[in-house]
Amino acid sequence: MSEPVEERVVIVTGAGRGIGRAEALEFARQGAKVVVNDLAGDDDPAGAVVDEIRSHGGVAVANHDDVSTWDGGRQLIGTALSEFGRLDVLVNNAGILRDRMFVSMTEREWDEVIAVHLRGTFVTSRHAAGHWRELSKSGKAVDGRIINTSSSSGLYGNVGQSNYGAAKGAIASLTIVLAEELARYGVTVNAIAPAALTRMTEALRERTDAEKAEMDPANIAPLVAWLGSPASRAVTGQIFNIKGSRISVAEGWVAGPEADNGTRWTQERLDELMPGLVAKARGRSDMDGHPIPR
């Protein structure tokens, strides 16, 4: 029987809509106390999610700090500590899209996406990790979780998303590094690469009713809640693809076909070797992570 997230304190960034909203609602449904983070905007989506959670008897507070800034990340972690006295789970979900072909991409479009996705994951994780490190050093038991949000665009590549893919690929790498570094403090770090219809993705193309059901953001939330639970304490450094009812473990870079020349390579020898070596290698994957037939 899985251990519940009841009474655990959870931060979800970008939780006013889409996947983040679904994650916040699921954590609250399972009994967690939730800090719902999103920029205020004109309609305060974070406040609306908090109201929805409270209407069902849950416990939640809104936070409107900008996670791409150092002080915003610090204040977000501080909200959990001041409101609930602890922090157990950080879900880094906040994101934006500025899709454009690379040769037409502007500096601003690149910087905005990197700031929200990659810097936003760094800043919040850095402040959370500092808090857990101090707890651990003081002799207190820590069972912390960081759950990052990568993407198939970052793992497998997607045309028109060089900024987004670069950020999401970096988040996957950051996840693996943090899993190694934070294990000593009792913190696990994992990531998801979700496929879901949100404000960011619904306008990309028309979807059938079956596709819409499969890509409901609510399908993502149970895995994230499990990763935030005590039951997942032995799982760290993993990236999970999730789409509808399907979960797969993303397998990282591996050293494939190899050759050893025994001495420094020459251009002539490389001419002879490289085409055949590349032909033996596993090819690229599609957006679902499946090898593309050659």
pLDDT score, position 20: 98
pLDDT score, position 209: 78
Is 151 one of the annotated active-site residues of the chain?
A: yes
Q: By three-state DSSP, how is residue 162 classified? A: helix
In the chain, what percentage of residues exceed pLDDT 70? 96
pLDDT score, position 187: 98
pLDDT, mean of residues 133-140:
98
pLDDT score, position 200: 56
Is 164 one of the annotated active-site residues of the chain?
A: yes
Contact criterion met (CB below 8 Å) for 45 and 22: no
Instruction: Determine if the pTM surpasses 0.85.
Output: yes
pLDDT score, position 54: 98
Q: By three-state DSSP, how is residue 50 classified? A: helix
The residue annotated as part of the active site, out of 164, 229, 232, 243, is 164
pLDDT score, position 166: 98
pLDDT score, position 204: 52
- Identify the CA nearest to 161 among candidates 174, 171, 152, 148: 152
Sequence-distant (6+) residues with CB within 8 A of 142 are 132, 135, 136, 185, 186, 187
pLDDT tens per residue, range 54-111:
999 999 999 999 999 999 999 999 999 999 999 999 999 999 999 999 999 999 999 9
CA distance 164 to 97: 7
Where in the chain are the domains? 9-250, 260-293
* DSSP state string for 166-208: HHHHHHHHHHHHHHHHHGGGTEEEEEEEEE---TTTTTSS---
pLDDT, mean of residues 125-141:
98
Side-chain-side CA neighbours of residue 14 (13 Å)? 21
Is 243 one of the annotated active-site residues of the chain?
A: no
Strands 239-243 and 59-63: what pairing? unpaired
CATH superfamily of 9-250: NAD(P)-binding Rossmann-like Domain (3.40.50.720)
The residue annotated as part of the active site, out of 168, 229, 232, 243, is 168
Question: Hey, what are 60's tokens?
Answer: 């939640």
pLDDT score, position 202: 53
pLDDT tens per residue, range 170-219:
999 999 999 999 999 999 999 999 998 866 555 555 667 777 778 899 99
Residues in the chain: 294
pLDDT score, position 201: 58
Helix (H) / strand (E) containing 268: helix 267-280
Q: Is the pLDDT of residue 155 over 90?
A: yes
pLDDT score, position 4: 81
Contact criterion met (CB below 8 Å) for 2 and 229: yes
The residue annotated as part of the active site, out of 68, 125, 150, 151, is 151
- Identify the CA nearest to 145 among candidates 244, 12, 292: 12
